[in-house]
Structure 1
Amino acid sequence: MSQTFRAATVTDAIRQAKEELGPDALILEVRRGPFDGGVEVVAMTGQTGEFAVTGYGHTGPLPRIDALGALRRRASRAASPPSGAVDPNDPGRSWGPDELDVDFIRQYGVSERLASDLAMACGAGSALRRHAAVTHVLQRRISTDDLVRTGQERVVAALVGPSGVGKTTTIAKLAAIFSASRGRRVALITTDTYRVGGIAQLKTFAEILQLPFYTVYTREDLDHALEETAQADLVLVDTPGCNPYDAAMLKEMRNLIASNTPVTCYLTLAMTGDFDELIAASQRFALFNPAGLIATKLDETRRGPAVIGLVEHIRLPLTYTCAGPLVPDDISAASPAALADLLLSAMEYRYQRELVRQ
């Protein structure tokens, strides 16, 4: 049975829960207190220390945070093909040119030349050979990269992009992955002082993950926060959503994160958007000189392969893709093989729809 613990801060409430229920207490919910402006934590005895945050402030439901559980699930998935991936033991079907042609691929914004190469690769025969051929084409033509390269001692990364694309949740996912599985010392900074509840949302993540957290209002604040987090290997900076067509707001945000410490920006875009608007947004955010692209909300669209066309057009390395709200489960490092899965899954979906029509 669950119990409710009230305190001034999330940390104090969780401490009460663990003192009462033991160190393995399962945190079910974190919410704002109804009377005194504090917080309430709903918890029960458990064995995993899993956090399931389902609401805080006025930002609506927050994603689940279960870093260790996610690592176990990732290890389990590594032993079997993910959904939509190619089963090497399945000979698969061979698509002919009438079933997957250049026009089908071009609808995802892919150039005619790349679409032709991909269409040829998709006719390679068995499922395994087809996947390998498509992966090979994408490996040659599409650039991918990681947020932190091997050997880098310190990275300060800011996620920039329009509002509603999932920057804050993506930062929480990255923080959980790098702190739990890669052994990085992570710190979080937010400049999102415009949105109601924006500070509280990331602060909640930071407290649950037990990471340093700073709120900054000016460039001087950012310089100070980066000095305070000098021992961190990875500093993740959240920014407010910017209207791509508001030049003054874009410039203001660019000036804010122009710290004395180099800050690397990553453009974050939701793949639910219109393709032409995504291209336009990337052009407007070029002001930040982004080092890579993070594509989000792939679970909310049937046009997932459009990320291939987008990366080809804007010529930025794809770093991560997000497909869901779970922290940190629903994020994946970009790879040609994963992009091949997206395209071949779209091909399979089209094939199944054609079977239904017949």
Structure 2
Amino acid sequence: MAYVLILFYILGMAHDSTQHPDLLADTLPLGLVPKARGAQSNASGRFERLARETFIDGWDAELEQTIARTTTVDERPRKIITRNDSPDIPFDRSINPYRGCEHGCSYCFARPTHAYLGLSAGLDFETRLTRKKGAAEVLARELSAASYKVAPIAIGTNTDPYQPIEARDRVMRGLLEVLSAYNHPLTITTKGTLIERDIDLLKPMAAKGLVQVGLSVTTLGSRLSRQLEPRAPVPARRLKTMRLLTDAGIPVRVMIAPIIPALTDHELEAIMGAAASHGARAAGYIMLRLPLEVAPLFEDWLATHVPDRAQRVMNRVRELHGGKVYDSHWGKRMRGEGEWAELMAQRFDIALNRTGLMTKLPALKQDLFAVPPKAGDQLSLF
């Protein structure tokens, strides 16, 4: 009898996906694809040797809810500032408060980074998140090092610092408090309206020339936005945030990112015009990027939501990258190449002249940076 009970317990645990989230698998039955998520599957990371498949066997009546549920784990980083030397990126250091992003953008080029955690670039990327606990204290330690040389820090380059879990976890808020205390220059990229919460910190920093914000807008259509970016604020709400930031004196740049060929490219001028009317001072754009696992995930999205345009979109993507789905070479990966890429660049330049937007915001100040004195420190007489 004892053996039977033990066997029953083991079988029951094996089907408990709440306690065993690793059982969520590469392919999902159609009825289990969760709503309000960008990915349609959960393929194993490229470093994993085994593939998994989820099937309905009647053991877990709440399997769909389990798959869709967001879970977070803590990481205690030894360093928080990441360095890069990419010649086509205008910064050499960045911070990402979280790994993974609940916004669930179907096109997100950062999805493949979840493979380094042994997780999927699909649903795992938007449901199994990591928060960097103690990030503010680590940042203060790095900025206080005698060897530290100041330069603007970019936040939000890989995942959004104002994704929904920030409302509870406040990792970004802690980082801002440190950067404000040190008078450190920074740029923020987001599509999250939660940034409004931090205007009390950003406004005085902007008055000192220490901060700029890039707000990402992919489309002005709320329906398409909900399909592309299921848990991000709708475009009209982002434009309202743009106005609130600019009214507070915070410089804003609209990022038309990504431009999706044959799907959103026709909105370029309309987005720039809407941004200008809501106070944006500059604009930039990035073409759709489909590195590694992102390509099949996005093709699945196309087949699900816009099957009539799927082939046309992918044909144009290949045209931009010399017949390939993606070209990672510097200078090509952001804009593509060829006649269509040149046409988009020309349209962008014309729209700049029409709207009065710039391509760059004024340089941030760096000479105000200083390590704040600690209790008991000898203060300077000057």
Query: Given the two structures, how large is their TM-score scaled by the length of structure 1?
Result: 0.32
- Give the structure with the larger strand fraction: 1
Bigger relative CO (Cα 8 Å, ≥ 6 apart): 1
Query: Given the two structures, how large is their TM-score scaled by the length of structure 2?
Result: 0.30
